[in-house]
Structure 1
Amino acid sequence: MGHGGDVINELTTDHREVEEIFAQIEALPAGDKRRKNLADQATIELVRHSVAEEMYLYPAVRRWVPDGDTIADREIQDHAEAERTMKDLEGCRPDEARFDELMGRLMREIREHVTDEEQNLFPQLRQAATPEDLEQLGEKVRTAKKTAPTRPHPTAPDTPPANKLLAPGAGMVDRIRDALSGRGKTD
């Protein structure tokens, strides 16, 4: 993740990448061990994306978009639900029935969230913010994703300033754990 352009282009590209991972999971038979690796890859990308949105996108929405507080609160609630699902999924093997149940739930949650962002939030933000503001937000989001956590932390703060202070440290620990375990690596 880290594509360039304004924040809307950046986040929309992230959405397409996660959807591609979901399609790969759906194409594999139930119980296939590759589904777990793909689920881990999706989780890594989703957590990094969500943390960056919570650090920079949603504060901008609160500031610039009419009724931005309500919109941002709803989006953060969507993230919290998906994060709990990812946390539950983390402990499942791909040959367990619960894995398929949780993966299906996560895909539904994320697809609904993406549709809402792309059809409602992003057009409102594009109308409310200047192109320069959107470019600056894109750069901030890209920077945040580089140090963001890669594992779900459902009890971590999801609003500034606490999330901006704690996310880089959690991200460093997560990346070390991922490197040691091989999590998220393609075969």
Structure 2
Amino acid sequence: MNQQRPPTPYSATDAIAMLLADHQKVRQLFREFDQIRTQRDEADLKAELVEQLCGQITVHSKLEEEIFYPAVRAAIDDDELMDEAEAAHAGVSDLIRQIETLEPDDEQIDATVSVLREQIEQHISDEENNLFPKARQAGLDLDTLRGEMDELRQELEGEGGSQPAPRAAPGEQGGSEKPSGS
């Protein structure tokens, strides 16, 4: 019996497109954080954004570590590239653990989120310019990988509760809309 998957919030057609959409979502959360980081009266919004950011990165990392990276490692002959990607994830995980111990009004939170952003931007660049093209060229079944990643995402988000809907940046309307392609 062939069951249809419930629709997902992704318009992506394959695993790489899904991961690219996640990258865009993380970049947007960093931009929103930058807009409010110096506003003392926005501590609650800052805490919510930091929680969303850390949650988004954590889920994305698990998708890559448990499904995408093993498939790519098996398909390409570049252990160094894969080892670097995994090491980048370890560094990001350490920073997220540090951030999660800080209070929203802690003076270190802005600096630690900035370091996280730098590491994430470098990692995204490495993936988008090196890893993803090699994965596409390897002939992987990226549609099947996306399905597996979708299932794991639903499981992970179910464990931690669903992530709150993104809020509008100061001065913007709405905020409860679903991000397109993320």
Q: TM-score range by the shorter chain?
A: 0.7 to 0.9
1:35 to partner: Cα distance? 1.4
Q: 1 CA distance for matches of 2:165 and 2:76?
A: 38
1:21 to partner: Cα distance? 0.5
Task: Find the counterpart in structure 1 of residue 170 from structure 2.
Answer: none
1:134 equivalent in alignment to 2:130: no
Moved more, 70-79 or 1-10: 1-10
Per the normalisation by structure 2, the TM-score is 0.78
Contact 2:99 2:113 (C-alpha < 8 Å) held by counterparts: yes
Greater helix proportion: 1
Partner deviation per Cα, 1:63-104 (whole Å, 9 max, x = no partner): 11121x322221111111111101110121222211011110
Contact 2:37 2:110 (C-alpha < 8 Å) held by counterparts: no
1:58 to partner: Cα distance? 0.7
- Residue type of the partner of 1:141? M
Ranges in structure 1 where 5+ consecutive residues have no aligned partner: 151-170
Q: 2 CA distance for matches of 1:6 and 1:185?
A: 24
1:79 equivalent in alignment to 2:89: yes
Task: Tell me the matched-pair count.
Answer: 156
Task: Find the counterpart in structure 1 of residue 69 from structure 2.
Answer: 58
Per the normalisation by structure 1, the TM-score is 0.76
Partner deviation per Cα, 1:5-42 (whole Å, 9 max, x = no partner): 11110000000011000000001142431112101001
Aligned-pair Cα RMSD in Å: 2.0
- SS at 1:19 equivalent: helix
Task: Select the residue among 18, 25, 31 that pairs with 2:26.
Answer: 18
Q: 2 CA distance for matches of 1:184 and 1:88?
A: 22
Task: Find the counterpart in structure 1 of residue 111 from structure 2.
Answer: 101
Task: Find the counterpart in structure 2 of residue 28 from structure 1.
Answer: 36
Ranges in structure 2 where 5+ consecutive residues have no aligned partner: 1-7, 168-182
1:185 to partner: Cα distance? 6.2
Contact 1:2 1:10 (C-alpha < 8 Å) held by counterparts: no
Say which one has the larger Rg. 2
What's the % identity of the aligned pairs?
28
- SS at 1:95 equivalent: coil
Q: 1 CA distance for matches of 2:117 and 2:166?
A: 20
Task: Find the counterpart in structure 1 of residue 59 from structure 2.
Answer: 48
- Residue type of the partner of 1:45? Q
